[in-house]
Amino acid sequence: MKFHWKVLAWMAAGVVFGLCLQRFTAAPPWSGATFEEVDGGLRFAAAKADSPAQKSKLEAGDVLVAVIRNKGSVESKRPQVRTPLTTTADYEDVLTQATNGDVLWFERDDGSQELVSLGMAPDSDRARWMAPFEFLADIFMALLKMLIVPIVLTSIISGVAGVGTVKDLSRLGGKTFAYYIGTSLLAILVGQALVSIVRPGDGAALGLAQLEPGSAPEDSFLDVLRRMVPSNVFESLSDNAGMLQIIFFALLFGFFLTQTPEPHGTRLKEFFESAFQVMLRMAEGVLKLLPYGVFCLMVRVVAKTGFNVFAPLLLYMGVVTAALLIHAAVTLPLIVRFVGKASPRRWFRAMSPALMTAFSTSSSSMTLPVTLETVEKRGRVSNRVTSFTLPLGATINMDGTALYECIGVVFLAQYYSGVSPDFVLTFGDQALVVLMALLASVGAAGIPSAGLVMMLAILAALGLPLEGAALLLAVDRPLDMLRTVVNVWSDSCGACVIARSEGEEGPLHAGDLP
């Protein structure tokens, strides 16, 4: 628990310091545009190098008649405001009323419109104060991005190879794998349904950089499936955006690794298992920097947007918590009752030591020894079942993580749909999120905050900026504790269901605790 409190303390410190920068430093919005007054509006004259105005499609000589703020946002959250432009003072008034993270749509005299996102003036006092925190936050995010490809590749290959080598337990393995895939899919669908109903990302004032024009993919879901097969896997490995191809290759490689004759199959399997263990140690080392990374991220976010960012983040946290509760208290108990033929209430009582350990450690891998002992001694499931299902579950069964990844990605996609003209969250995109969350949950390491690394993979596949996940990282720790409990709870329910399917009677009497 000590590490949890350390993370929360540094997060609170980052909020306080960010609010101080908000209160005592100036940071006028900046778009880098220069205008000349003409009859009927303002003529766009020039734009500073690398400014938001220069990155837009505005061209010198364009006559602008109005500016629209918050177009595409939900009116109840961020009202749309249209201001006619007749003098340069009108434009200055718009900048005065706007805040960092707002989006301006310039309306030309021909009726067309162009997006310009506002950022902080680079020479402002606040920008100078924020520079070191921006630098450290970028370094921390770069460390997380560095982990994506190697940890996904090694974890999926070693996980699939480990499943396929147990030939004498093919029936037990098939049941276990079907249960884990089924419950993960149910968890993702619960999360997607809830986030689509509540829509916490619509109109959210997150202050994130806008998508560059043309950066959002326009592929249909069938195009995505076609693109899933890599023409050059080494090229895919060099780019986080090729994550779907990497996962596809890793699944195939892991499967055919089990078909490779000795000694080559064993050698490669041991190599990838060793590489995965090294990546786990590296991830643990990077995540030890989490308190300080969260501090820098909170300073950056709060200094830019103030408390405006917390309302949508609290709503996002509420959606994740509610979805986890629905899956843990409704979906899984129904499976235990009607498939496992056991009492969910008594099974929950029996599993309480493992669930408390999961909550305190935020790691299903670290909880595994307690889970094994709890399911065998208090749940009365045979060692034959627990020794196979639970280690496999700690590797590939991440219901809570899959649910969280789906909600987090859709939340950010909803935000970008409201402020970026090139991005629309289509049904195909949502289907891709479901598929990616399912596959990424197989490769998620059972260590604290590992789900965030896998979320980066899904964002990259959708063509969304990875920096959005940095914002979610600021509130990740409490959610990480909850979703780990759901992960371990699902593993234990799986052991109960598989044991009953194998004819064991022990789980029926799990209420008679020793």
- Write the secondary structure of 132-146 as one string of H (helix), E (strand) and C (coil): HHHHHHHHHHHHHHH
Tell me if 14 sits within 8 A of 295, measured CB to CB.
Answer: yes
Cα–Cα dist 351/8, whole Å: 28
Output the CA–CA distances (angstroms, integers) from residue 262 to 171, 191, 270, 423, in the order listed.
Answer: 24, 43, 12, 49
Tell me if 182 sits within 8 A of 442, measured CB to CB.
Answer: no
Tokens of 511: 């209420």
Query: What's the confidence (pLDDT) of residue 255?
Result: 81
Is residue 242 scored above 80 in pLDDT?
no
Highest mean pLDDT among 117-126, 253-262, 416-425: 253-262
Query: What's the confidence (pLDDT) of residue 212?
Result: 57
| Domain architecture of the chain: domains with CATH | 29-120 (2.30.42.10), 132-509 (1.10.3860.10)
pTM beyond 0.85, yes or no:
no
According to DSSP, residue 210 is labeled P
Tokens of 213: 């024009």
> For residue 55, which phi and psi values (nearest 5 degrees)?
-75, -10
Tokens of 383: 């060692």
Query: What's the confidence (pLDDT) of residue 123?
Result: 76
**Residue among 479, 495, 446, 488 nearest 324 (CA):** 479
**Quick one: average pLDDT of 21-43?**
83
**Quick one: average pLDDT of 215-229?**
61
**Quick one: average pLDDT of 341-354?**
91
**Quick one: average pLDDT of 403-432?**
80
Taking the mean position of all CA atoms in its chain, how far away is CA 213? Answer: 23
According to DSSP, residue 238 is labeled T
Query: What's the confidence (pLDDT) of residue 496?
Result: 93
Is residue 481 scored above 80 in pLDDT?
yes
**Quick one: average pLDDT of 456-460?**
77
Q: Which of 163-172, 194-203, 405-414 has the lowest mean pLDDT?
A: 163-172
Query: What's the confidence (pLDDT) of residue 78?
Result: 62
CB atoms within 10 A of CB 438: 19
Q: Assign 422 a pLDDT band (cuts: 50, 70, 90).
A: low
Query: What's the confidence (pLDDT) of residue 168?
Result: 44
Spatial CB neighbours of 412, under 8 Å, sequence gap ≥ 6:
201, 459, 464, 468, 469, 472
Tell me if 188 sits within 8 A of 455, measured CB to CB.
Answer: no
Q: What is the pLDDT of residues 246-289, one digit of tens each?
A: 878 887 888 888 888 888 888 998 898 898 888 878 877 887 88
* Percentage of the chain modeled with pLDDT above 70: 83
**Quick one: average pLDDT of 165-184?**
75
Query: What's the confidence (pLDDT) of residue 335?
Result: 95
Cα–Cα dist 321/328, whole Å: 10
Cα dihedral: 217, 219, 224, 225 (round 10): 180
AA identity, residue 278: V
Cα–Cα dist 37/405, whole Å: 49
Q: Across the chain, what does the average pLDDT equal?
A: 80
Tell me if 456 sits within 8 A of 240, measured CB to CB.
Answer: yes
Highest mean pLDDT among 21-30, 38-47, 389-398: 38-47
Q: Could you tell me which residues are beta bridge partners of residue 66?
A: 84, 107
**Residue among 404, 397, 402, 379 nearest 488 (CA):** 397
Q: Which residue has better confidence, 168 or 61?
A: 61
Q: What is the pLDDT of residues 370-416, one digit of tens each?
A: 888 899 888 988 888 887 788 778 777 888 888 988 899 899 888 88
Highest mean pLDDT among 222-236, 289-303, 321-335, 416-430: 321-335
Q: Which residue has better confidence, 212 or 424?
A: 424
Structural element, H or E, at residue 244: helix 243-258
Cα–Cα dist 13/292, whole Å: 10
Query: What's the confidence (pLDDT) of residue 318?
Result: 94
Cα–Cα dist 327/186, whole Å: 8
Output the CA–CA distances (angstroms, integers) from residue 307 to 13, 15, 108, 302, 313, in the order listed.
Answer: 14, 9, 34, 7, 10
Q: Is 155 helix (H, G, I), strand (E, B) or coil?
A: helix
Q: Could you tell me which residues are beta bridge partners of residue 83?
A: 67
Q: Assign 449 a pLDDT band (cuts: 50, 70, 90).
A: low
Tell me if 370 sits within 8 A of 386, measured CB to CB.
Answer: no
Query: What's the confidence (pLDDT) of residue 511?
Result: 46
Is residue 197 scored above 60 in pLDDT?
yes
Q: Assign 512 a pLDDT band (cuts: 50, 70, 90).
A: low
Spatial CB neighbours of 61, under 8 Å, sequence gap ≥ 6:
43, 44
What does R_g of the chain's alpha carbons equal in angstroms? 25
